[in-house]
């Protein structure tokens, strides 16, 4: 049986990855310090799967794991703008020292490595849609830089380990992703709007809502990550859904799908909020034969029902 380490395995994407790997008969060691990850995301795996092991640990501290490891997936980092602004130093540390530690573990174990990078490496992009050849437009000292620059460093050190030690490394640039297990109030637009619409609260559009995003359903993303993990690629690969819409259109779509009477209100636009974002996924299509299968509407329906269930349970983690 192959064995994988998933750093950040109790997070939104990390926990979906743990489930996916187990479904492929790969045993999983999940490492998470639970700063933004939640034990409830993996509780069912801890209880039910003998091939799943949880280790509470901060990967910014040295990592020791005995036995062979075939794959190391580094998905450890706060990822919501609200979270990384709340934990700026932790975000910088996990994207730098943390990745240094997971890469050294990869070297010791002669494993295959994948780092979760992000569309944020493109900053407020001047090229649209964004392809992997674009170097980005990031404010190095702005409030978002703790995440953007940490991820740019993470890509740089990954490529250095690939070149110097000939490690088998992969870089996935993840665009906006949504689905079950997002925290109801992690501050990102998808949970915010769904939560507000379901509770009948005002839907808060930042700025005038003309900024664009493209949203990918999590099962599509995880499928793409696995395809990349087992591929021969070493260059960064964008994964995301190229269906682009404005945030105001998105607010209206959520209102309609939830039959909500919430009003849409406008709030200040956060500093350095990217004006437009849409992945060019030609590379993923060509190299991995991957493209999203779930439409935005379908994905939102699944996510809304999941949030409805969550809101019903007494211990909803609000």
Q: Does 192 participate in binding ligand UDP (rule CB under 6 A)? A: yes
Q: Does 273 participate in binding ligand UDP (rule CB under 6 A)? A: yes
Catalytic residue among 20, 122, 147, 217: 147
Binding-site size, ligand UDP (CB under 6 A): 13
Q: Does 78 participate in binding ligand UDP (rule CB under 6 A)? A: no
Longest pairwise C-alpha distance within the chain:
58
Active site residue 147: yes
Residues 123-182 that bind ligand UDP (CB under 6 A): 176
Q: Please name the residue ranges forming H helices in the chain.
A: 12-23, 43-48, 81-86, 88-109, 145-165, 189-199, 218-229, 247-257, 282-288, 296-312
Q: Does 194 participate in binding ligand UDP (rule CB under 6 A)? A: no
- The answer to whether residues 169 and 114 touch, using CB atoms and an 8 Å cutoff, is yes
* Residues 6 or more apart whose Cβ sits within 8 Å of residue 37: 8, 9, 10, 11, 14, 15
Burial 67-95 (b: 16+ CB within 10 A, else e): eebbbbbbbbbbbbbbbbbebbebbbbbb
Least distance to ligand UDP, CB of residue 273, Å: 4
Q: Which of 65, 97, 79, 99 is nearest to 35 (CA)?
A: 79
Q: Which of 52, 250 has the CB closer to ligand UDP?
A: 250
Span from 163-171, 188-196, 254-262, 281-289 in contact with ligand UDP (CB under 6 A): 188-196
Instruction: Give the residue, chosen from 63, 197, 216, 247, that forms a contact with ligand UDP under the rule CB under 6 A.
Output: 247
Q: Does 291 participate in binding ligand UDP (rule CB under 6 A)? A: no
Q: What are phi and psi of 52, to 5 degrees?
A: -120, 130
Q: Which of 31, 129 has the CB closer to ligand UDP?
A: 129
Q: Does 91 participate in binding ligand UDP (rule CB under 6 A)? A: no
Both tokens assigned to 24: 């492929």
Interaction site with ligand UDP (CB under 6 A)? 81, 176, 188-189, 192, 204-206, 211, 213, 247, 270, 273
Catalytic residues: 147
């Amino acid at each position: 049986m192959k064995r994988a380490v998933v750093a950040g395995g109790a997070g939104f994407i990390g926990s979906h990855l743990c489930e996916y790997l187990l479904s492929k008969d790969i045993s999983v060691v999940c490492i998470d310090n639970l700063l933004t990850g939640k034990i409830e995301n993996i509780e069912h795996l801890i209880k039910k799967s003998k091939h799943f092991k949880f280790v509470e640990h901060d990967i910014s501290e040295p990592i020791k794991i005995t036995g062979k490891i075939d794959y190391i997936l580094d998905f450890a980092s706060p990822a919501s703008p609200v979270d990384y602004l709340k934990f700026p130093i932790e975000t910088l540390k996990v994207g730098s020292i943390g990745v240094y530690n997971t890469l050294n573990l990869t070297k010791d174990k002669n494993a295959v490595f994948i780092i979760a990078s992000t569309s944020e490496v493109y900053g407020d992009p001047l090229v649209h849609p964004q392809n992997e050849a674009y170097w980005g437009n990031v404010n190095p000292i702005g409030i978002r830089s703790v995440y953007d620059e940490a991820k740019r460093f993470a890509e740089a050190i990954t490529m250095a380990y690939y070149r110097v030690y000939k490690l088998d490394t992969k870089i996935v640039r993840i665009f906006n992703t949504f689905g079950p297990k997002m925290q109801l109030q992690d501050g990102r637009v998808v949970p915010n709007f769904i939560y507000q619409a379901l509770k009948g609260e005002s839907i808060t559009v930042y700025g005038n809502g003309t900024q664009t995003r493209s949203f990918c359903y999590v099962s599509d993303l995880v499928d793409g990550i696995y395809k990349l993990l087992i591929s021969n690629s070493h260059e960064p690969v964008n994964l995301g859904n190229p269906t682009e819409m404005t945030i105001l259109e998105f607010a209206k779509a959520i209102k309609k799908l939830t039959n909500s009477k919430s009003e849409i209100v406008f709030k200040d636009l956060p500093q350095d909020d990217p004006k437009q974002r849409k992945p060019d996924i030609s590379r993923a299509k060509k190299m991995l034969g991957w493209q999203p299968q779930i439409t935005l509407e379908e994905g939102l329906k699944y996510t809304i029902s999941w949030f409805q269930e969550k809101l019903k349970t007494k211990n909803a983690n609000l």
